[in-house]
Amino acid sequence: MRRLVIPIVVALLVSGHMWAQETPAPSPGAVKGDPYSCPVDGRKFTHPQSRIGSLQGGVDSDHCTYEGNGDWVLYSIVVCPRCNYAAIRDTFPRAFNPKQRQAILKATADSSYRGVTEAMTEIPPWERAELALKCSKALDEPLSMQIQYLHMASWMARVKAVRPATRAYPIASPILVDDFVRLIGRKVERADTPKEKNRLKLHTAMIHQRGGDVTERDKVLAELDQAAAKDPLLKTRIDEFRKLNVVEAGYQKRALELIDQRLAGEDVRPDERLMMTYIKADTLRRLGLKEDAIKTFREVRRLMRRPSQLRTMTDYLLTRLAPGEPLPKPEAPKPETPKETETPKTPEDPEPSPPAD
């Protein structure tokens, strides 16, 4: 199982764009269903076809992806409406033995979503990830898979929270966040009505959420709170945005606990250690834990021995978090003892490739 799952996780983390080139983007408004048959109870159902299409909306620093049409992240987990077995789309169809089937049924026994008509519309996206996490634990999958599900749950909350801003201002790279904030700032200045100004300011808060800058996000929200006292619709939108931010942070905190557990393991490959440490650093930053984030980004920077996109991003984020501090020098690689059955591999920086223009 381990050999099957790790490549899938890495593919999800770093190679979404490749699927973009292979799979044509679905036409807007024409989301069809792929047929699925539940390997646990045989239930037949459909799941929306939307696969990662145009990455017009870019990729956040923690690899959350936004496509131009469809919501790949939200569609990425398939759930059986009857028994609630759940998994990432491509791993959902699997052959289980009776013991595994039983373990899944036991894990989802207390799910209040069992027997829904349509999992996609009746189960909140992060709850779908939560069900996949339960099944993953029941199947005794590697910790990295469980971390991935928590990570995906946090993405799902973010994708929903920032949707209006993503539609209005697609961001190809986290490095462009400041440009978009400035652009919206100019629009705010030119806006005719206070209502329009406030709508645009809320977009700014959403862009900061994507950029992972919770301090700036909260400054904008604090400004908006005064206006919201007299504008019930604005208040509803702000409340909903904040609620989703809390959901996102909750999953990020849980992911951090598992990441620490994983990093404490003895069998962590160098490329996995690098990626996990990077995700840990960025998650700490997104939670507003600045000092811990700096410390962890410095740690991951020392593991990056050759130029890569991930290193560029690390340098960018470190420079923002700790301006003027010199970047750490890469450490010499530790000698690895290759196993007899495995081809020794050089530590590589697993990196996300540039999003499609």
Binding site for Zn ion (CB under 5 A): 38, 40-41, 43, 80, 82-83, 85
- State the minimum distance, in angstroms, from the CB of residue 132 to Zn ion: 13
Q: What sections of the chain are H helices per DSSP?
A: 2-14, 16-22, 72-75, 98-107, 119-122, 125-138, 143-161, 163-168, 177-190, 194-211, 214-228, 232-263, 270-286, 290-303, 309-321
Integer Cα distance of 68 and 60 in angstroms: 14
Task: Give the burial class of 357: count Cβ atoms within 10 A of its Cβ; 0-12 exposed, 13-18 middle, 19 or more buried.
Answer: exposed
Q: What's the closest the beta carbon of residue 124 comes to Zn ion, in angstroms? A: 19
Q: Which is nearer to Zn ion, 114 or 235 (CB)?
A: 114
Nearer to Zn ion, 132 or 202 (CB): 132
Q: Smallest gap, in angstroms, from Cβ of residue 100 to Zn ion?
A: 13
Task: State the Cα–Cα distance between residues 38 and 49, nearest whole angstrom.
Answer: 17
Smallest separation (angstroms) from Zn ion to the CB of 43? 4
- 241 conformational bin, left if phi > 0, alpha if psi -120 to 50, beta if neither: alpha
Instruction: Name the residue with tokens 């790279």.
Output: 173
> Is 47 strand, coil or helix?
strand
**Closer Cβ to Zn ion, 93 or 265, answer by number:** 93
Closest approach, Cβ 326 to Zn ion, in A, equals: 55
Q: Between residues 43 and 253, which has the closer beta carbon with respect to Zn ion? A: 43
If the CB atoms of residues 63 and 82 are measured against Zn ion, the closer one turns out to be 82
Both ends of the chain: CA-CA distance in Å?
A: 36
Angle ∠(336,339,341) on CA atoms, nearest 5: 145
Residue 104 CB, nearest approach to Zn ion (Å)? 8
Cβ proximity to Zn ion: between 82 and 201 the closer is 82
